[in-house]
Chains A and B, each alone.
Chain A
């Protein structure tokens, strides 16, 4: 499915004269998990708050399920579930009562959904224990359960794994993947935890200082992070035939700029270099490229250079 769930066009948000979001444009498609990656203060939460209607942009537009305009967005937000910053819980109520409160608020008549959701997020056994006595991880789980009320088509989760223990992280990750796969739910998750996002998201949005630096799919990210020998030369076609004939490998990719990414022979660069030289190819670049996830992120946001 490629239905546009959310389209944001040139969104700018200003606080006290400073742009905290600048001309942000993104499109979310149905049934995908989008990882919103950015440092503290990058604008992740601001972007989510704007989508949820908790804040208003200076300029630009938000289109939710094909509708735009203040009134239409209010209506379409009924198809949205959100947990932004920290879970909103009534401390003196149990998990069940908290869910009941939000269920009534959203006009959901089905009472069974409370028990179902509590079980789904692993809080089925909390009984009458009040939310104020919950651990941070339990509060996060309850916040996610509240966000899931009404089976939203777009789920927005701001740092949902904060405070979760390792098992909790895996459980929530599996839950999100399951929701995405089984219910075609579109999920937008922000996190600092890049390895975790890497295991959850299908698409990535890298935001830095209020600007979208890059949007890419998991495949593109893997491609960008994969270690390879990058070769630029005057005869790329001859180079590829040498790779296939002499080195017996097809594990390479010709890029649009005619440079070649070779994923084999990383441990035997000298052999590759010698063969190229012996075949009279003039090389303009021969380097090892590829990043760890963290280094790739840093390179995109303009920090340290690639490893």
Chain B
């Protein structure tokens, strides 16, 4: 499995797609932060919140994360890298796990600009605001700016950033079975985007229905896991990790069940 992971990391390192996605998230993270700052300062109209959300991590990762799955998993069916791995003796389970690990590494990489920009922005002590649409790193930006960001918070912020990346990776793990079954990026990207939109709508439903909330919080889309910030308690963090990891395992198990005896065209 290590060979496959190493090979995929080599491919990712050589890939133009990951560089483009990283550039997009870097620009988006900067744009999100600048807009949040200008909104807080009142220098731009509140109507720009929609634009600000467009650049936010939750929105960008729901599109670019699925693109990443398209490029690195579906693309490997086109390039027959998966065929070669199997015909040279790798088990299908190994292929799935290695692809998922590298996919999650890729998600972490493209989310890195959000973590770095948010960390720097908080360090400046400036105020940021994006209103009610704040989720993920944007939420950290707007929540923490109400209180002074101290050096002691840095480690906790790094932990929160890591957990948020895990939560996003868990949400995007839905793309793994989609990519292995559908094999077409053109299908994986819109389907996942719809799933992420649906997740947002179900969050609203969960807010008004305690029963549904309990069920929904068993997925990384629910339970306010995307709203973890510096005020999060150890129990929140632990639960976010637990739910995310179990959800990833379930997604990989579904992928294995579907791919175990599948024809590889």
Interface centre among A54, A75, A90, A105 (most CB of B within 10 A): A105
Whether a CB of chain A sits under 8 angstroms from the CB of B224 is no
Known: A54-B87, A82-B87, A104-B6. A92 touches B14 (CB 8 A): yes
Known: A53-B87, A77-B88, A150-B88. A102 touches B79 (CB 8 A): no
Docked pose: A84 CA to B82 CA in angstroms: 13
Whether a CB of chain B sits under 8 angstroms from the CB of A97 is yes
Q: Which residue in chain B gives the minimum CB-CB distance to A90?
A: B79
Q: Which residues of B contact A52 (CB under 8 A)?
A: 83, 86-87
Whether a CB of chain B sits under 8 angstroms from the CB of A107 is yes
- Do A101 and B89 have beta carbons less than 8 Å apart? no
Docked pose: A101 CA to B15 CA in angstroms: 12
Q: Which residues of A contact B84 (CB under 8 A)?
A: 82, 88, 102, 105, 146
- Do B86 and A104 have beta carbons less than 8 Å apart? no
Q: Which residues of A contact B86 (CB under 8 A)?
A: 52-54, 77
Q: Which residues of B contact A84 (CB under 8 A)?
A: 83, 87
Contact with B along A67-93 (1 / 0, CB 8 A): 000000011111011101011111111
- Do A75 and B16 have beta carbons less than 8 Å apart? no
Picked from A55, A75, A100, A105, the residue with its CB within 8 Å of the CB of B85 is: A105
- Do B7 and A102 have beta carbons less than 8 Å apart? yes
Q: Which residues of A contact B10 (CB under 8 A)?
A: 100-101, 104
Contact with A along B86-107 (1 / 0, CB 8 A): 1111110000000000000000
Docked pose: A80 CA to B80 CA in angstroms: 16
- Do A74 and B3 have beta carbons less than 8 Å apart? no
Q: Which residues of B contact A93 (CB under 8 A)?
A: 11, 14
- Do A105 and B87 have beta carbons less than 8 Å apart? no
Q: Which residues of A contact B83 (CB under 8 A)?
A: 52, 54, 84, 88
Task: For the complex formed, measure the closest distance between the CB of A48 and the CB atoms of chain B, giving whole angstroms.
Answer: 9
- Do B264 and A101 have beta carbons less than 8 Å apart? no
Docked pose: A88 CA to B89 CA in angstroms: 16
Total CB contacts across the A-B interface at under 8 A: 79
Residues of chain A from 147 to 188 with CB closer than 8 A to chain B in the complex: 150
Q: Which residue in chain B gives the minimum CB-CB distance to A92?
A: B16
Q: Which residues of B contact A252 (CB under 8 A)?
A: none
Docked pose: A54 CA to B89 CA in angstroms: 11
Q: Which residue in chain A gives the minimum CB-CB distance to B17?
A: A92
Whether a CB of chain B sits under 8 angstroms from the CB of A106 is yes
Q: Which residues of B contact A198 (CB under 8 A)?
A: none
Q: Which residues of B contact A56 (CB under 8 A)?
A: 261, 263
Whether a CB of chain A sits under 8 angstroms from the CB of B81 is yes
Residues of chain B from 104 to 118 with CB closer than 8 A to chain A in the complex: none
Docked pose: A219 CA to B90 CA in angstroms: 38
- Do A80 and B79 have beta carbons less than 8 Å apart? no
Docked pose: A24 CA to B49 CA in angstroms: 66
Q: Which residue in chain B gives the minimum CB-CB distance to A100?
A: B10
Q: Which residue in chain B gives the minimum CB-CB distance to A70?
A: B91
- Do B3 and A104 have beta carbons less than 8 Å apart? yes
- Do A54 and B264 have beta carbons less than 8 Å apart? yes
Q: Which residues of A contact B7 (CB under 8 A)?
A: 101-102, 104-105
- Do B81 and A90 have beta carbons less than 8 Å apart? yes
Q: Which residues of B contact A106 (CB under 8 A)?
A: 3, 88
Q: Which residue in chain B gives the minimum CB-CB distance to A54?
A: B264
- Do A77 and B89 have beta carbons less than 8 Å apart? yes
Docked pose: A89 CA to B80 CA in angstroms: 7
Docked pose: A82 CA to B89 CA in angstroms: 11
Task: For the complex formed, measure the closest distance between the CB of A167 and the CB atoms of chain B, giving whole angstroms.
Answer: 27
Q: Which residues of B contact A105 (CB under 8 A)?
A: 3-4, 7, 81, 84-85, 88, 90
Q: Which residues of A contact B85 (CB under 8 A)?
A: 105
Residues of chain B from 55 to 89 with CB closer than 8 A to chain A in the complex: 79-81, 83-89
Interface centre among A80, A82, A104 (most CB of B within 10 A): A104
Docked pose: A56 CA to B86 CA in angstroms: 13
Contact with A along B237-265 (1 / 0, CB 8 A): 00000000000000000000000010110
Q: Which residues of B contact A146 (CB under 8 A)?
A: 84
Residues of chain A from 244 to 274 with CB closer than 8 A to chain B in the complex: none
Docked pose: A77 CA to B87 CA in angstroms: 6
- Do A89 and B79 have beta carbons less than 8 Å apart? yes
Docked pose: A74 CA to B6 CA in angstroms: 20
Docked pose: A104 CA to B13 CA in angstroms: 14
- Do A101 and B11 have beta carbons less than 8 Å apart? yes
Known: A93-B14, A104-B7. A75 touches B88 (CB 8 A): no
- Do A81 and B88 have beta carbons less than 8 Å apart? yes
Docked pose: A104 CA to B14 CA in angstroms: 14
Known: A101-B10, A102-B7. A55 touches B263 (CB 8 A): yes
- Besides the contacts A78-B89, A91-B79, what 14 more A-B pairs have beta carbons closer than 8 Å? A49-B264, A54-B263, A56-B261, A75-B89, A77-B87, A80-B87, A89-B80, A92-B14, A100-B10, A101-B11, A102-B7, A105-B81, A105-B88, A150-B88
14 contacts across the A-B interface (CB closer than 8 A): A54-B87, A56-B263, A77-B86, A77-B89, A78-B88, A82-B84, A84-B87, A87-B80, A88-B81, A92-B16, A93-B11, A97-B14, A104-B3, A105-B88
> Top 10 closest A-B pairs, CB basis?
A88-B80, A52-B87, A78-B89, A105-B7, A77-B89, A104-B7, A107-B3, A54-B264, A82-B87, A90-B79
